[in-house]
């Protein structure tokens, strides 16, 4: 398969992942629950960490898509 396929695939997957994991709604990095004061939730902390890692992975996929296109242009790869 050629470099265009891999570039498009990584860009598409990265964009979809970033849509879902890039801006997590109502997640608090400290695990605080907004309705209850002075209490934190360990499940929310873990969920925040997972969303954070997946959003950076998605950005990496999008960056690799651009990198593959630059390699194709500079080195005339098919």
Q: pLDDT category, 1, cuts 50, 70, 90? A: low
Task: Give one DSSP letter per residue of 27-58, joined into a string.
Answer: --TT-B-TTSTT-B-HHHHHHHHHHHHHHHHH
Q: HSE-up of 49 (CA within 13 Å, CB side)?
A: 8
**What pLDDT, on the 0 to 100 scale, is given for residue 27?**
63
- Condensed to tens digits (0 to 9), the pLDDT of residues 5-57 reads 999 999 999 999 988 887 666 666 777 666 655 667 788 888 888 988 999 99
**What pLDDT, on the 0 to 100 scale, is given for residue 78?**
67
**What pLDDT, on the 0 to 100 scale, is given for residue 36?**
58
Q: Which residue has the tokens 């925040």?
A: 48
**What pLDDT, on the 0 to 100 scale, is given for residue 24?**
60
């Amino acid at each position: 398969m050629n470099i265009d396929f891999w570039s498009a695939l990584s860009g598409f997957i990265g964009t979809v992942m970033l849509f879902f994991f890039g801006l997590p709604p109502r997640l608090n990095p400290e695990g605080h629950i907004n309705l209850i004061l002075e209490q934190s939730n360990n499940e929310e902390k873990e969920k925040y960490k997972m969303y954070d890692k997946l959003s950076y992975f998605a950005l990496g996929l999008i960056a690799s898509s651009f990198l593959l296109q630059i390699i194709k242009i500079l080195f005339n790869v098919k």
